[in-house]
Amino acid sequence: MRTVNAWAATSATEPLSATTIDRRDVGENDVLIEIAYAGICHSDIHTARSEWGEAPYPLVVGHEIAGTVTEVGSGVTQHAVGDRVGVGCMVNSCRECDACKAGKEQYCTQQIGTYGMTDRDGSITQGGYSTHIVVDADFTLKIPEGVGLDVAAPLLCAGVTTWSPLRRFGVGEGSKVAVVGLGGLGHMGVQLAVAMGAEVTVLSQSLKKQEDGIALGATDYRATSDESTFEDLQGTFDLIINTVSANLPIHEYMALLGVEGTLVNVGAPVEPFTVPAFSLIGGGKSLAGSMIGGIPETQEMLDFCAEKGIGSKIEIIPAEKVNEAWDRVVNSDVRYRFVIDAATI
Ligand code: NAP
Ligand code: ZN
Ligand code: ZN
């Protein structure tokens, strides 16, 4: 066991504060990672504020982790000391069920999340807002050369969460894709869809970030506060990815899909959606969901990003600014991912 620095939530309402946590000894199939950067995902905030249910306090969140391997267990063959690696939203799963065998460990009923879940030893998992983490080697990803650890960290959640549905729904050359919300997930979704050959429209609350959206490769950028957006774009898209952290009138967005188009929801607001049956049956449309991505597809996404020169657009902050950064994320004032410099934790 080793004691390491971390920033933890102690209740749903208190700001995060500096503390120490214990990390287990490096087991046979484990790696010890010295964390360099930890991205701030909106899910960290939902969880720590108990918006999705009571969180186990004290809790260290963070599941966009990038760093360097400093120790490996005796059975580890795929990672070595000095390797640049990442950890996303999962640290283990059963490995035997159909989902695990298909490389979709995120849908394993025994999947263990990087924070706030009961680990194999009965302890509660603690995430990336810390200096070190011990993780099973099979849930440790390789960060390719050419992608900085800072811009790679957000790929481990925001990247794969948008990559997975883009691949599942066959986005490619000429696909018409809309991304709703230009935040952490949204700005990755735009870049990945563009790199896959899609024609991408951003649907944002306002035109404040229009220039950025176009620079990321979008060909069209519309404000959802403008009623004419919903008139002009009726029946346009093959796929809409909704990344919004708040509730939306989903049926208005369903109307923007072409025949047999799909709206895939990755945003995770607290309130349920209301979807009239006719917004689905007219046009044979689908409403789908998607949760992060499996380990093989996460590696595929990281390699694709290296090949295409894609990274997250980040603002690096010291740990003491984390509460301020959270407020800015909640206020849609993030461009486009905050990343904590772990050396300041
Ligand atoms: P984020 O950086 O805060 O981005 C969310 C974006 O949604 C904002 O930038 C904003 O974009 C838009 N938005 C926020 N409030 C809105 C409102 N009231 N009405 C309309 N639009 C609003 O958050 P994120 O880290 O990308 O995460 C987004 C959501 O996905 C969160 O709910 C998170 O928990 C969830 N998530 C899900 C998965 C999964 O596996 N499915 C994985 C990671 C995160 P504009 O300013 O452009 O409108
Ligand atoms: Zn996340
Ligand atoms: Zn499983």
Supply the pLDDT for residue 305. 98
State the distance from the centre of ligand 1 to the C-alpha of 244, rounded, in angstroms.
4
Atom of ligand 1 at shortest range from CA of 334: 2
Percent of the chain with pLDDT over 90: 98
The C-alpha atoms of residue 131 and residue 153 are separated, in whole angstroms, by: 14
Ligand 2 ion: Cβ-proximal residues, 5 Å cutoff: 41, 43, 157
Query: Which 3 state secondary structure label does DSSP give 164?
Result: helix
Residue nearest to atom 13 of ligand 1 (CA): 244
- Structure-model confidence comparison of residues 229 and 272, the more confident one: 229
pLDDT of residue 31: 98
The pLDDT of residue 33 is: 98
What is the C-alpha separation between 9 and 15, in angstroms, rounded?
A: 7
pLDDT range class, residue 230, cuts 50, 70, 90: very high
- Cα gap 197→211, rounded to integer Å: 20
Gap between the Cα atoms of 151 and 212, Å rounded: 17
Question: Which atom of ligand 1 is found nearest the CA of 330?
Answer: 3
pLDDT attached to residue 288: 98
Residue 248 CA to residue 266 CA, distance in Å, equals 12
The mean pLDDT value for 260-265 works out to 98
Question: So what's the pLDDT on residue 92?
Answer: 98
Question: What pLDDT sits at residue 89?
Answer: 98
d(CA 77, CA 142): 13
DSSP state of 78: S
C-alpha 313 – ligand 1 centre gap (Å) = 15
CA distance 146 to 306: 6
Ligand nearest to the CA of 183: 1
* Dist. CA 31 → ligand 2 center (Å): 22
CB 311 within 8 A of CB 9: no
d(CA 303, CA 113): 23
Q: What is the pLDDT of residue 295?
A: 98
Half-sphere CA count of 281, side-chain side, radius 13 A: 3
- What pLDDT score does 150 carry? 98
How would you classify the pairing of strands 337-341 and 30-39?
Answer: antiparallel
Q: How many whole angstroms from 42 Cα to the centroid of ligand 1?
A: 7
Q: Pocket around ligand 1: residues whose beta carbon is below 6 Å from it?
A: 41-43, 46, 157-158, 161, 181-186, 204-205, 209, 243-246, 266-268, 290-292, 329, 332, 334
* Confidence tier at 78 by pLDDT (50, 70, 90): very high
Structure tokens at 161: 């969460």
Report the separation in Å between the CA atom of 66 and the middle of ligand 3, taken as the mean of its atom positions: 25
| Ligand 1 mutation pick, 157, 164, 244, 334, max ligand atoms within 8 A of CB | 244
β-pairing, 286-289 with 257-265?
Answer: parallel
> What is the number of the ligand closest to the CA of 51?
1
pLDDT of residue 315: 98
90 close to 139: Cβ distance less than 8 angstroms: yes
d(CA 191, CA 172) in angstroms, rounded, equals 13
For residue 303, give the nearest of 140, 142, 137 by alpha carbon.
142
Distance CA 154, CA 65 (A): 8
Compute the half-sphere exposure of residue 206: CA atoms within 13 Å on the CB side of its CA: 4
Distance from residue 307's CA to the centre of ligand 1 (Å)? 27
pLDDT tens-digit readout, 180-228: 999 999 999 999 999 999 999 999 999 999 999 999 999 999 999 999 9
- Nearest to 48, CA basis, from 252, 244, 340, 327: 327
Distance of CA 246 from the midpoint of ligand 1 (Å): 7
Q: Render pLDDT for 88-134 as a digit per residue (tens, 0 to 9).
A: 999 999 999 999 999 999 999 999 999 999 999 999 999 999 999 99
Say what the pTM is.
0.98
Q: What is the mean pLDDT of residues 292-298?
A: 98
Residue 169: the pLDDT is 98
Query: What mean pLDDT is reported for the chain?
Result: 97
Ligand approaching nearest to the C-alpha of 95:
3
Report residues near ion ligand 3: CB below 5 Å. Answer: 93-94, 97, 100, 108
Q: Each residue of 40-49: pLDDT tens digit?
A: 999 999 999 9
Cα–Cα distance measured from residue 140 to residue 302, given in angstroms and rounded to the nearest whole number: 12
Structural domains in the chain, CATH included, are: 2-157+293-300+312-344 (3.90.180.10), 159-289 (3.40.50.720)
DSSP 189-257: HHHHHHHTT-EEEEEESSSTTHHHHHHTT-SEEEETTSHHHHHHTTT-EEEEEE--SS---HHHHHTTE
The predicted pLDDT at position 77 comes to 97
User: 296-326 burial by CB neighbour count: b if 16+ within 10 A, else e?
Assistant: ebbbbbbebbbeeebbbbbeebebebbeebb
CA of 112 to the centre of ligand 3 (A): 10
For ligand 1, atom 1: residue with the closest CA: 183
